[in-house]
Protein backbone atom coordinates (compact mmCIF):
# COMPACT_ATOMS: atom_id res chain seq x y z
CA UNK A 1 0.00 0.00 0.00
CA UNK A 2 2.45 2.66 1.16
CA UNK A 3 6.11 2.89 1.89
CA UNK A 4 7.23 1.92 5.39
CA UNK A 5 7.22 4.59 8.08
CA UNK A 6 10.75 5.90 8.58
CA UNK A 7 11.52 5.74 12.30
CA UNK A 8 14.71 7.09 13.92
CA UNK A 9 15.55 7.16 17.62
CA UNK A 10 18.59 9.18 18.71
CA UNK A 11 19.72 7.96 22.15
CA UNK A 12 21.18 10.22 24.82
CA UNK A 13 21.54 8.31 28.07
CA UNK A 14 18.12 6.83 28.89
CA UNK A 15 16.30 9.40 26.70
CA UNK A 16 15.61 9.31 22.97
CA UNK A 17 14.60 11.86 20.38
CA UNK A 18 12.16 9.93 18.17
CA UNK A 19 11.48 11.06 14.60
CA UNK A 20 8.95 9.47 12.24
CA UNK A 21 7.90 10.19 8.67
CA UNK A 22 4.74 8.49 7.45
CA UNK A 23 4.04 8.21 3.74
CA UNK A 24 0.44 9.20 3.00
CA UNK A 25 -1.32 11.51 0.51
CA UNK A 26 -3.42 13.23 3.23
CA UNK A 27 -6.22 14.71 1.09
CA UNK A 28 -8.28 17.32 2.93
CA UNK A 29 -11.45 17.02 0.85
CA UNK A 30 -11.14 20.72 -0.11
CA UNK A 31 -9.06 20.37 -3.30
CA UNK A 32 -10.59 20.19 -6.76
CA UNK A 33 -9.31 18.20 -9.70
CA UNK A 34 -10.99 18.64 -13.10
CA UNK A 35 -13.78 20.59 -11.37
CA UNK A 36 -14.63 17.80 -8.93
CA UNK A 37 -13.79 17.65 -5.23
CA UNK A 38 -11.14 15.10 -4.34
CA UNK A 39 -12.57 13.06 -1.44
CA UNK A 40 -11.00 13.45 1.99
CA UNK A 41 -8.42 10.77 2.82
CA UNK A 42 -6.15 11.25 5.82
CA UNK A 43 -4.51 9.50 8.76
CA UNK A 44 -6.95 9.78 11.64
CA UNK A 45 -5.23 7.87 14.45
CA UNK A 46 -1.53 7.38 15.25
CA UNK A 47 -0.12 5.24 18.06
CA UNK A 48 3.53 4.83 19.07
CA UNK A 49 4.67 2.14 21.49
CA UNK A 50 7.86 1.09 23.22
CA UNK A 51 8.20 -2.65 23.88
CA UNK A 52 4.43 -3.06 23.39
CA UNK A 53 3.43 -0.27 25.80
CA UNK A 54 1.67 2.74 24.26
CA UNK A 55 3.72 5.92 24.77
CA UNK A 56 1.89 8.25 22.38
CA UNK A 57 -1.60 8.33 20.94
CA UNK A 58 -2.87 11.07 18.63
CA UNK A 59 -5.98 11.83 16.61
CA UNK A 60 -5.38 13.74 13.39
CA UNK A 61 -7.64 15.44 10.89
CA UNK A 62 -7.54 16.60 7.28
CA UNK A 63 -5.37 19.64 8.04
CA UNK A 64 -2.18 17.56 8.52
CA UNK A 65 0.21 17.81 5.55
CA UNK A 66 1.14 15.14 3.02
CA UNK A 67 3.76 12.66 4.31
CA UNK A 68 3.46 13.84 7.92
CA UNK A 69 6.48 14.13 10.21
CA UNK A 70 6.18 13.42 13.93
CA UNK A 71 8.86 14.10 16.56
CA UNK A 72 8.78 13.54 20.32
CA UNK A 73 11.07 12.88 23.31
CA UNK A 74 10.90 9.62 25.20
CA UNK A 75 12.41 8.60 28.57
CA UNK A 76 13.46 5.15 29.69
CA UNK A 77 14.80 3.96 26.35
CA UNK A 78 17.81 1.67 25.93
CA UNK A 79 19.52 -0.06 23.03
CA UNK A 80 17.61 -3.17 21.96
CA UNK A 81 14.15 -1.78 22.78
CA UNK A 82 11.41 -2.16 20.15
CA UNK A 83 9.83 1.09 18.97
CA UNK A 84 6.67 0.73 16.88
CA UNK A 85 4.20 3.04 15.16
CA UNK A 86 0.79 2.19 13.76
CA UNK A 87 -1.84 4.32 12.08
CA UNK A 88 -5.35 4.09 10.67
CA UNK A 89 -6.62 6.33 7.88
CA UNK A 90 -10.10 7.61 7.07
CA UNK A 91 -10.69 4.74 4.60
CA UNK A 92 -9.87 2.13 7.24
CA UNK A 93 -6.41 1.25 5.90
CA UNK A 94 -3.83 0.38 8.55
CA UNK A 95 -0.06 0.45 8.66
CA UNK A 96 2.36 -0.75 11.36
CA UNK A 97 6.14 -0.51 11.40
CA UNK A 98 8.75 -1.35 14.03
CA UNK A 99 12.45 -0.74 14.61
CA UNK A 100 14.97 -1.86 17.19
CA UNK A 101 16.65 1.03 18.99
CA UNK A 102 20.40 0.96 18.41
pLDDT of res. 2: 73
Q: What is the pTM of this model?
A: 0.90
Q: In order of start, what are the domains of the chain with their CATH numbers?
A: 6-94 (2.60.40.10)
What is the distance, to the nearest Å, from the Cα of residue 54 to the centroid of all Cα atoms in its chain? 13
**Confidence band, pLDDT 50/70/90 cuts, at residue 43:** very high
Amino acid sequence: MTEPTRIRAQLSGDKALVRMRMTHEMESGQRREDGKLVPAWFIREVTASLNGQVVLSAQWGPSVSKNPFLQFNLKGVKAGDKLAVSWIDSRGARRSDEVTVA
